Amino acid sequence: MFKPSAEFKAQANLGSEATYKRLYAESVNSPAKFWGRQAKELLTWRKPFKQVLQWKAPHAKWFTGGALNVSENCLDRHLGTARENKAAIIFEGEPGDIRTITYKQLHREVCKFANALESLGMKKGDRAAIYMPMVPEAAIAMLACARLGVIHTVIFGGFSSEAIKDRVNDCDAKLVITADGGWRRGKVVELKSAVDRALTGTPKVEHVVVLKRTGNEVAMTQPRDRWWHELMAEAKAEHKPKAFDSEHPLFILYTSGSTGKPKGVLHTSGGYLLGTTITTKYVFDLKESDIYWCTADIGWITGHSYVVYGPLANGATVLMYEGAPNQPGPDRFWEIIDRHGVTIFYTAPTAIRAFMRWGDDYVKKHSLASLRLLGSVGEPINPEAWMWYHKMIGKKRCPIVDTWWQTETGAIMVTPLPGVTAAKPGSCTRPFFGVVPKILDDNGKEVPKGSGGRLFLTQPWPSMLRTLWGDDARFKTQYWSEIKGIYFAGDGARFDKDGYLWVVGRIDDVLNVSGHRIGTAEVESALVSHPAVAEAAVVGRPDDLKGQALVCFVTLKSGQTASDQLKDTLRAHVAKEIGAIARPDSVRFAAGLPKTRSGKIMRRILKEIAAGGEVKGDVTTLEDFSVVASLQAED
């Protein structure tokens, strides 16, 4: 247990267990009272809402009758206050170019771009796809859409043209906003050319707006394609935002499901903005003077909620970095933290493990004295990585918030509150306000503390997804029919004796070996606690005797050599850490693991390799296909 320090506690936005308990009890016992008050305090409404929640499971309407403008909440309301000349975005490009954009300037850019979009015929309810590098214009595009009531769908800049085409067609986007390219590891990632290939099969797209970022040559098709800077040169700097219904759609974000076709998760305005605003304030203990850095790309939900909407609604200073963490060297992040005085740093376990692998020397070259709070998101963080993060980055001084949530939940659901919750490495600890997690067995019965089961959320929350775009039937079966009327998260988890939540991973990652439930993440955690191991991914392989056998894919730290002896050592190590039931059946060394571009290990691919070699199905989200080829060759 890592208890909050007295110093942190004394200055925390929510500094006492008693306050957490009182507010949590109110939030679940009287949700309308709690959320109604928060919505009035934290958001600016043009028209007050009449009712906090209309709930006809699985469809929720939050703050009905209310009207607001999300972009106004992120920008206009900070003008005329001490925040107006505060930095909203500090941007660092991969080549080293730095730009600071104040709230007043950001407001001006968003107003101009909203006018530009209007000049292209975009209006409330239309869809716009955004396919951009991590540059301020990506946030400007999102906020300009929000300002007009145009529904954006951000497509991660690493997706292929096939993926762009599918998403653009699924939501009938009329407009695509892109750039010539973005910088990644010193090279130009060509975005416009990918859009051009996609648009050969997208009949509904009328215009493409192209930001000049890298200066590489692009083909401009007249009159479809327009330069960002030319539109902006003609655009007025004034734009009066209209108010939209609280349930007006804000964005669609595609996320992979168990089948090949990605799901278009739909988020709306009032509830989503409230969920992201309140969590940013309390989970990150946000202060006026913070320099806040969430390393997620805006192509993922974390980028939407914790780079753009949550922080800007709070008037925060957001650091945005365009490129790779190891460009030009493995210490680029630590250099950025020192150069800009970053105080809050939010990243993913996979990144933390990469830093561990690159070695402590790169960290030790930098001070990191400005940091005061660390966060983790995206997958369970193994205790080994947690401890390294705590000691090496946080210098044992910074609380770590391990935040569990999903694209579908919109905002953080389960997390420690800094200054209040004692942390246990690997546990995301306790529910945020209004969140009621339950662990149920296959019959829908609550399992005893300490036992594993499936994770459900039993009460509606403001930032919940409203449906899947164009597929309400899939929305119902996917999330609300495992146990009728309550939300199935798709994760396996357990509560420990202190009531702390441990998310083991996707339910399909929980194996059953000889009748024992074994979380692949647990075995992975055991493997990476061995000094030779850098990263590990564990999957099940069908086994006649045991049901499933444990297959481990392992990458080694530099200086370590693969050998049969080391395989045996690692199998014994896991048996020692977890028990003989978890002794791996097979350990395979690999140069790298197949990952999505957001860093999640694609276990589905490893399962296919473990089961016999052929990789079938959708691999468009894979970061580097050569990894798969080398894993197959290895067998």
Name residues whose C-beta falls within 8 Å of residue 559's C-beta, 6 or more positions apart in sequence.
Answer: none
**Residue sitting closest to ligand 7RM (CB):** 407
In whole angstroms, how close is the CB of 533 to ligand 7RM at the nearest point?
Answer: 20
Work out whether 596 is an interface residue with ligand 7RM (CB under 6 A): no
In whole angstroms, how close is the CB of 379 to ligand 7RM at the nearest point?
Answer: 5
- Quick one: 291 or 601, whose CB is closer to ligand 7RM? 601
Piece in contact with ligand 7RM (CB under 6 A), picked from 269-277, 405-413, 461-469, 576-584? 405-413
- Integer CA distances (angstroms), 405 to 156, 349, 454, in order: 19, 14, 15
Among 302, 343, 525, 555, binds ligand 7RM (CB under 6 A): 302
- Quick one: 557 or 597, whose CB is closer to ligand 7RM? 597
In whole angstroms, how close is the CB of 262 to ligand 7RM at the nearest point?
Answer: 11
Q: What is the DSSP string of 398-463?
A: S-EEEEB--TTT-S--B-PPTTTSPB-TT--BSBPTT--EEEE-TTSPBPPTT-EEEEEE-S--TT
- Quick one: 344 or 566, whose CB is closer to ligand 7RM? 344
Piece in contact with ligand 7RM (CB under 6 A), picked from 132-140, 162-170, 444-452, 488-496? 488-496
Helix, strand, coil share (%) of the chain residues, nearest 5:
35, 25, 40
Q: Dmax over Cα atoms in the chain, in whole Å? A: 71
Strand runs (DSSP E) across 205-325, as ranges? 207-211, 225-227, 244-245, 249-255, 263-268, 291-294, 317-321
Which residues are registered as beta bridge partners of 595? 601
In whole angstroms, how close is the CB of 409 to ligand 7RM at the nearest point?
Answer: 8
Contact assessment for residue 6 and residue 12, using Cβ atoms and an 8 Å cutoff = no
Among 303, 410, 490, 594, binds ligand 7RM (CB under 6 A): 490
C-alpha 4: how far from its chain's center? 25
Contact assessment for residue 450 and residue 525, using Cβ atoms and an 8 Å cutoff = no
Among 255, 458, 630, 632, binds ligand 7RM (CB under 6 A): 255
* CA dihedral over 92, 93, 99, 103, signed as positive or negative: negative
Contact assessment for residue 176 and residue 128, using Cβ atoms and an 8 Å cutoff = yes
In whole angstroms, how close is the CB of 89 to ligand 7RM at the nearest point?
Answer: 21
- Quick one: 149 or 505, whose CB is closer to ligand 7RM? 505
d(CA 330, CA 353): 12
Contact assessment for residue 49 and residue 66, using Cβ atoms and an 8 Å cutoff = yes
- Quick one: 325 or 599, whose CB is closer to ligand 7RM? 599
Contact assessment for residue 386 and residue 425, using Cβ atoms and an 8 Å cutoff = yes
Residues 425-484 that bind ligand 7RM (CB under 6 A): 428
In whole angstroms, how close is the CB of 284 to ligand 7RM at the nearest point?
Answer: 14
In whole angstroms, how close is the CB of 232 to ligand 7RM at the nearest point?
Answer: 33
Residues in the chain: 635
In whole angstroms, how close is the CB of 625 to ligand 7RM at the nearest point?
Answer: 21
Q: How many CA atoms lie within 13 A of 99 on its CB side?
A: 16
Work out whether 66 is an interface residue with ligand 7RM (CB under 6 A): no
- Quick one: 247 or 297, whose CB is closer to ligand 7RM? 297
- Quick one: 330 or 426, whose CB is closer to ligand 7RM? 426
C-alpha 467: how far from its chain's center? 19
In whole angstroms, how close is the CB of 304 to ligand 7RM at the nearest point?
Answer: 10
472 sits in the region (left: phi over 0; alpha: psi -120 to 50; else beta) called: alpha
Contact assessment for residue 354 and residue 558, using Cβ atoms and an 8 Å cutoff = no
Reading the block at residue 84, the tokens are: 């107006």
Counting Cβ atoms within 10 Å, is residue 2 exposed (0-12), middle (13-18) or buried (19+)? middle
Q: Which of 527, 497, 522 is nearest to 510 (CA)?
A: 522
Residues 500-519 that bind ligand 7RM (CB under 6 A): 503, 505-506
- Quick one: 227 or 488, whose CB is closer to ligand 7RM? 488
- Quick one: 264 or 380, whose CB is closer to ligand 7RM? 380
Work out whether 402 is an interface residue with ligand 7RM (CB under 6 A): yes
In whole angstroms, how close is the CB of 136 to ligand 7RM at the nearest point?
Answer: 23
Residues 518-577 that bind ligand 7RM (CB under 6 A): none
Residues 340-399 that bind ligand 7RM (CB under 6 A): 377-380
- Quick one: 66 or 505, whose CB is closer to ligand 7RM? 505
- Quick one: 52 or 356, whose CB is closer to ligand 7RM? 356
Work out whether 301 is an interface residue with ligand 7RM (CB under 6 A): yes
Name residues whose C-beta falls within 8 Å of residue 166's C-beta, 6 or more positions apart in sequence.
Answer: 261, 262
- Contacts with ligand 7RM by CB under 6 A: the residue count is 20
In whole angstroms, how close is the CB of 224 to ligand 7RM at the nearest point?
Answer: 33
- Quick one: 257 or 547, whose CB is closer to ligand 7RM? 257
Q: Is 344 helix (H, G, I), strand (E, B) or coil?
A: strand
Q: What is the DSSP string of 543-589?
A: ETTTEEEEEEEEEEPTT----HHHHHHHHHHHHHHT-GGG--SEEEE
- Quick one: 158 or 380, whose CB is closer to ligand 7RM? 380
- Quick one: 109 or 491, whose CB is closer to ligand 7RM? 491
In whole angstroms, how close is the CB of 537 to ligand 7RM at the nearest point?
Answer: 14
In whole angstroms, how close is the CB of 428 to ligand 7RM at the nearest point?
Answer: 5
- Quick one: 405 or 487, whose CB is closer to ligand 7RM? 405
Helix (H) or strand (E) holding 477: helix 472-480
Work out whether 405 is an interface residue with ligand 7RM (CB under 6 A): yes
Piece in contact with ligand 7RM (CB under 6 A), picked from 40-48, 102-110, 243-251, 400-408? 400-408
In whole angstroms, how close is the CB of 593 to ligand 7RM at the nearest point?
Answer: 16
Name residues whose C-beta falls within 8 Å of residue 329's C-beta, 6 or more positions apart in sequence.
Answer: 362
In whole angstroms, how close is the CB of 421 to ligand 7RM at the nearest point?
Answer: 14
Which residues of this chain interact with ligand 7RM, rule CB under 6 A?
A: 255, 301-302, 377-380, 402-407, 428, 489-491, 503, 505-506
